[in-house]
Amino acid sequence: QVTLRESGPALVKPTQTLTLTCTFSGFSLSTSGMCVSWIRQPPGKALEWLALIDWDDDKYYSTSLKTRLTISKDTSKNQVVLTMTNMDPVDTATYYCALLSGSCYSSPFDPWGQGTLVTVSS
Amino acid sequence: AIRMTQSPSSFSASTGDRVTITCRASQGISSYLAWYQQKPGKAPKLLIYAASTLQSGVPSRFSGSGSGTDFTLTISCLQSEDFATYYCQQYYSYPTWTFGQGTKVEIK
């Protein structure tokens, strides 16, 4: 059974750097075709794709947030880490990680983690 | 980036109704479209992928159709557990994935 779980701070101050960890089980991110992505959702708003890392350590970022995001993986720990710099109140959102499997560049997001709410406030 | 536009943004319906949600892509995406259901406080759940393929375990009252730029999600007989927000998502233009703005289905 594949599961993913996000963890990180619930509250960060403006200008700080956010670090989120996605811990997963049931698959290996060193297996060809596997990718993990981060997606966020501000309260009451739509979903926004942020970043993706694949089994070969290729990384892709949202164009609008590219300068602030870094995604990395630790295959031995079954973790994917997302950092976002210079946090602002508009970054308040629930942050999800999700798996893309098979041929991940032609696959939907499934399953998703439960999400973690991050509030940006002084 | 490809824009995904859903309509309507919200509507009210009754249990037993047949409901249809539309998703339009700003350019052709073949059949690289997924539909998700999200309930309050929960993560999105994949319902349909490849525009019309039902994810394992999803009730058969859900169906999807379309290709190119126009897609629909249909719930043939709305159940109480179907009141939720539904999102479409294109996965044609990697490495950029985009979602629609969501359609909230409320109880009439």
Q: What is the pLDDT of residues B52-78, one digit of tens each?
A: 999 999 999 999 999 999 999 999 999
Q: What is the pLDDT, as a whole number, of residue A14?
A: 97
Q: What is the pLDDT, as a whole number, of residue A101?
A: 82
- B44/A48 CB distance under 8 A: no
Taking 3-state DSSP, the helix, strand and coil percentages for chain B, each rounded to the nearest 5, stand at 5, 50, 50
Confidence of residue A20 (pLDDT cuts 50, 70, 90): very high
Tell me the pLDDT of chain A averaged across its residues: 96
Tokens of A65: 């947030």
User: Which residues, 6 or more positions from B56, have their beta carbon under 8 angstroms from its beta carbon?
Assistant: none
Instruction: Say yes or no to pLDDT of B108 above 90.
Output: no
Please give the average per-residue pLDDT across B27-44, as a whole number: 97
Q: What is the pLDDT of residues A73-116, one digit of tens each?
A: 999 999 999 999 999 999 999 999 999 987 888 899 999 999 99
Question: Residue B99: which of A46, A63, A113 has the nearest Cβ?
Answer: A46
Q: What is the pLDDT, as a whole number, of residue B95?
A: 83
Going by C-alpha positions, the residue among B79, B82, B84, B25 that lies closest to residue B51 is B25
Q: In sequence order, what DSSP letters do the residues of B3-53 get, joined into one string?
A: -EEEE-SEEEE-TT--EEEEEEESS--TT-EEEEEE-TTS--EEEEETTTE
Q: How far is the alpha carbon of B64 from chain A, nearest alpha carbon, in Å? A: 15
| Residue A113: Cβ-neighbour burial (10 angstroms; 0-12, 13-18, 19+) | buried
Residue B59: cis peptide before it, omega within 30 degrees of 0: no
- B94/A63 CB distance under 8 A: no
Tokens of B91: 């996965």
Mutate to test the interface with B, among A48, A64, A66, A110 (most CBs of B within 10 A): A110
- A49/B46 CB distance under 8 A: no
Tell me the pLDDT of chain B averaged across its residues: 96
CA A79 to each of CA A19, A71, B62: distance values in angstroms, whole numbers, following the listed order: 12, 11, 34
What residues of chain A lie within 8 A of the CB of B43, using their CB?
A: 96, 111-115
**What CA–CA distance (Å, rounded) separates B38 from B15?**
18
- A112/B43 CB distance under 8 A: yes
Task: Give percent of chain A with pLDDT exceeding 70.
Answer: 100
What residues of chain B lie within 8 A of the CB of A105, using their CB?
A: 91, 94-95
Q: What is the pLDDT, as a whole number, of residue A55?
A: 94
**What CA–CA distance (Å, rounded) separates A80 from A90?**
24
- A49/B87 CB distance under 8 A: no
Q: Determine contact: B83 vs chain A, CB below 8 A.
A: no
